[in-house]
Each structure stands twice: as structure tokens, then as C-alpha cells.
């Protein structure tokens, strides 16, 4: 695993955005897997600025989701579909036709999970998957004790993740969905390049366990140790326990 320590979140965003621009230069129809949460936002802002600033044609780029809440009404602003449309797809001038994700409002959730794994494979697999990390070491919504070989499936959030994500729901934990669909750890490991951005002191313990701890389902992000091309971009605060 490659670990790159940068001064701050903005520098991390710039670095990763440049690697996405390079990828799209080599492969204009690359499939970019995107994560939500606050950590990746500097990536999407820097990427949009680079694309707009250079006039680069990214119209063939494809975007897919990492995870989704189950049961939010269609179009809810905090659904991950709406978030990715707002933060990534629309700023890049792409349309919904370039974007796909798991259906969190499907009646048959298990079927939606299987369909999503199939859609990812049929799309040729993810070229570059952006990841954040939860304070408990989760990636996507693969909470501690998730199988390292897991595929896309339904999961129940831990109380810690519900508390962490309440800030997107007016600080009200009662509004945070309890169930989610997430790419499994095995699904995530299928991507050709994994890039995790971790920023802030609150992620320092999870980062240290991911990089220096043993491979363990207790720290789902430690699965990156298994991947032949995984990059951790960490700001100085998040690197403080390395």
C-alpha cells in the first residue's frame, strides 16, 4: 500500500483529482467509483476546477456509487444518489445517463444488491475507486466484522456511524436510515485502483490501524493491504498516529 502524506485536505483533493484527470486522459470512458461523506469533497471540487479550467472533454466518463441508504424517498437530498449527482455528476457536466448506483428504494433489496454487482461487472469493472474511511475503520458501509470477501449486500449501521452521519440529517439520529446497501469489501477490491482520502484528527486511529495494524475484519479498511494498487492519501492530522 502506498501512503502519501499531504499538508491538508485541499492538497489531498488536488493530488487525487490530478490522478483522475490522468486516468481520463488515458481512458476517456473510465469508470470512476465515488464515495460520499465530507472527506472526498475536495477531490470533486478540484476535479471540477481542473476539467473546467482545461476544457477537457470528459463526456465519456462514467460514474458509479459505492453505497446507498435503504428506504429514503426518491430524490431525498441526502440519498447518496442525489449527493453524487449534486457533487460530482452535474458539476462535471455529465448527465444521469453516465451514472449508476444501487437502488436503495427497491422492494427486493437483495435483488438490487445482486443486480448492482452484475452491473459493475458488465460495465467492465471500476477503474479508480475513491474511498473515505469511517472513524471505526469502515469503507463504504462495511462496518467492522464485515467479511473481507463480501459482495454488495444490505447492512445495518452501527450506532457510531448513525451518530457520525446525523450531521447530514439536521443532527437528528432518528432520521438516519438504519439500513444501507454497500459494495462489499470483495467488490471494492475488484477495482483496479483504490484511492482512500482521510483527513482530520478524528480519522488518525482508523488510519493507523489500516496502515500499521494487522489485516482484520475488525478494521474493514485494512483490506486495502490485500490490493495490488491501493493509495492512502492522508493529511498531517489524520497521519498523526502513524
Q: In whole angstroms, how close is the CB of 32 to ligand GLP at the nearest point?
A: 15
Half-sphere exposure of 210 (CA within 13 A, CB side): 33
> At its nearest, how many Å lie between ligand GLP and the CB of residue 66?
6
Residue 170: active-site member = no
Cβ-based nearer residue to ligand GLP, 36 or 98: 36
- Catalytic option among 14, 117, 143, 164: 143
Per the annotation, the verdict on 164 as an active-site residue is no
Q: How far is the CB of 65 from ligand GLP (least distance, A)?
A: 10
Catalytic member of 68, 127, 138, 235: 138
Compute the residue count for the chain.
Answer: 242
What's the closest the beta carbon of residue 139 comes to ligand GLP, in angstroms?
Answer: 7
Sign of the C-alpha dihedral computed for residues 234, 180, 46 and 190 taken in this order = positive
Could you tell me if 50 and 16 are in contact, meaning their C-beta atoms sit under 8 angstroms apart?
Answer: no
Give me the DSSP letters along 23-49: HHHH-TTPEEEE--SSTTHHHHHHHHH
Cell 442525489 belongs to residue: 82
The 3-class SS string of 57-120 reads CCCCCEEEECEEECCCCCCCCCCHHHHHHHHHHCCCCCCHHHEECCCCCCCCHHHHHHHHHHHH
N-term to C-term CA, the chain: 14
From the candidates 14, 68, 136, 164, which is the catalytic residue? 136
3-state secondary structure of 15: helix
Q: Tell me which residues touch ligand GLP (CB under 6 A).
A: 35-39, 66-67, 132-134, 140-141, 161, 165
Is residue 14 flagged as an active site residue?
no
Question: Strands 193-198, 230-235: parallel, antiparallel or unpaired by DSSP?
Answer: parallel
Whether 136 is catalytic is yes
Taking the least distance from each CB to ligand GLP, the nearer of 147 and 160 is 160
Catalytic residues, by residue number, are 67, 136, 138, 143
Amino acid at each position: 500500500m502506498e501512503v502519501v502524506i499531504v499538508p491538508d485536505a485541499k492538497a489531498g483533493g488536488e493530488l487525487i483529482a490530478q490522478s483522475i484527470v490522468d486516468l481520463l486522459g488515458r481512458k476517456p470512458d473510465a469508470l470512476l467509483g465515488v464515495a460520499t461523506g465530507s472527506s472526498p469533497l475536495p477531490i470533486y471540487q478540484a476535479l471540477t476546477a481542473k476539467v473546467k479550467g482545461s476544457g477537457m472533454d470528459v463526456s465519456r466518463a462514467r460514474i458509479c456509487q459505492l453505497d446507498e441508504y435503504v428506504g429514503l424517498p426518491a430524490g431525498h437530498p441526502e440519498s447518496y444518489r442525489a449527493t453524487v449527482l449534486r457533487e460530482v455528476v452535474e458539476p462535471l457536466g455529465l448527465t444521469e445517463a453516465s451514472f449508476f448506483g444501487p437502488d436503495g428504494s427497491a422492494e427486493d433489496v437483495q435483488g438490487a444488491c445482486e443486480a448492482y454487482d452484475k452491473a459493475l461487472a458488465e460495465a467492465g469493472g471500476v477503474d479508480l475507486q475513491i474511498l473515505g474511511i469511517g472513524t471505526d475503520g469502515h469503507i463504504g458501509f462495511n462496518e467492522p466484522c464485515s467479511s473481507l470477501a463480501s459482495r454488495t449486500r444490505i447492512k445495518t449501521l452501527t450506532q457510531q456511524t448513525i451518530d457520525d452521519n446525523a450531521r447530514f440529517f439536521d443532527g437528528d439520529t432518528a432520521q438516519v436510515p438504519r439500513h444501507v446497501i454497500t459494495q462489499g469489501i470483495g467488490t471494492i477490491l475488484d477495482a483496479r485502483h483504490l484511492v482512500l482520502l482521510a483527513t482530520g484528527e478524528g480519522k488518525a486511529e482508523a488510519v493507523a490501524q489500516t496502515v500499521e495494524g494487522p489485516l482484520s475484519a475488525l478494521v474493514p479498511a485494512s483490506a486495502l493491504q490485500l490490493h495490488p494498487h491501493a493509495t492512502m492519501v492522508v493529511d498531517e492530522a489524520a497521519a498523526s498516529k502513524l
